[in-house]
């Protein structure tokens, strides 16, 4: 894993990230594609996704950020577990996620950043509830990086999400990734061909099943 750095974020995004993190306090942690980019530098991702361990107080959080960022802050979507906002062209999401991380949180100044191992299980959680190419691409980048295996990701998901996670569903989804609508992503290194990603997932699923059947 590369040393944590905000250098890949545009200056305005870095400033907003610091402001939002300070405003939200220690209970919020940056996760998602941007937190992953800061660790493995795989693709450009500028959305700021903050996870909270408890339910969200929409009015309270909106007021706090409005006081800090001003009237340029626009509320796009609210529900009991998610708030989506936009400040100028920067997307900010606050997400209630009542599943504690399994690994240590990284700290960069006042910013709490989720470790890539927990991001991996959170990407699996997202894949189980929506099918977006960027989630598969991020999981591909994590596994391809070699720091964690599919077997470990599945173990982490079972530990974090319990009965809310189905390894069979995940394996089926990864095997059928070629059915997902491909989105254009801005990779920082060599852009992988979609076929390469398809073949990679089919191989890791096959390897996992072979090992699992032998146990």
Give how far the C-alpha of residue 49 lies from the chain's centroid of Cα atoms, to the nearest Å.
8
Distances (CA, A) of 69 to 80, 93, 115, 185: 23, 14, 27, 28
Domain residue spans in the chain? 11-113, 116-214
For the segment 118-144, the average pLDDT, to the nearest whole number, is: 96
When the pLDDT of each residue in the chain is averaged and rounded to a whole number, the result is: 93
Burial of 204 from C-beta contacts in 10 A (0-12 / 13-18 / 19+): buried
pTM of the model: 0.94
Q: Class for domain 11-113, per CATH?
A: alpha beta
Tell me the percentage of the chain whose pLDDT exceeds 70: 98
For 31-81, how does the pLDDT look when each residue is reduced to its tens digit (9 = 90+)?
999 999 999 999 999 999 999 998 888 788 888 999 999 888 999 998 888
More confident residue, 115 or 78: 115
> What is the predicted pLDDT for the residue at 2?
60
Tokens of 183: 């989105």
């Amino acid at each position: 894993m590369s040393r944590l750095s905000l250098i890949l974020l545009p200056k305005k995004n870095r400033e907003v990230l610091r402001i939002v993190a300070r405003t939200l306090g220690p209970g919020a942690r940056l996760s998602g594609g941007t937190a992953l980019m800061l660790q493995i530098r795989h693709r450009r991702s500028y959305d700021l996704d903050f996870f909270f361990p408890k339910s969200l107080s929409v009015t309270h959080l909106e007021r706090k950020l409005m006081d800090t960022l001003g009237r340029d802050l626009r509320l796009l979507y609210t529900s009991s577990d998610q708030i989506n906002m936009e400040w100028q062209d920067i997307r900010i999401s606050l997400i209630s996620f009542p599943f504690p991380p399994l690994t240590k949180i990284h700290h960069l100044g006042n910013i709490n950043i989720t470790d890539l191992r927990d991001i991996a299980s959170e990407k699996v959680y997202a894949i189980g509830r929506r099918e977006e190419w960027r989630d598969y691409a991020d999981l591909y980048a994590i596994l391809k990086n070699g720091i964690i295996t599919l077997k470990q990701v599945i173990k982490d998901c079972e530990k974090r999400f319990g009965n809310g996670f189905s390894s069979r569903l995940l394996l089926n989804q990864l095997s059928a990734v070629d059915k997902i609508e491909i989105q254009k992503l801005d990779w920082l290194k060599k852009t992988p061909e979609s076929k390469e990603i398809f073949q990679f997932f089919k191989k890791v699923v096959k390897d996992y099943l072979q090992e699992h059947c032998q146990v």
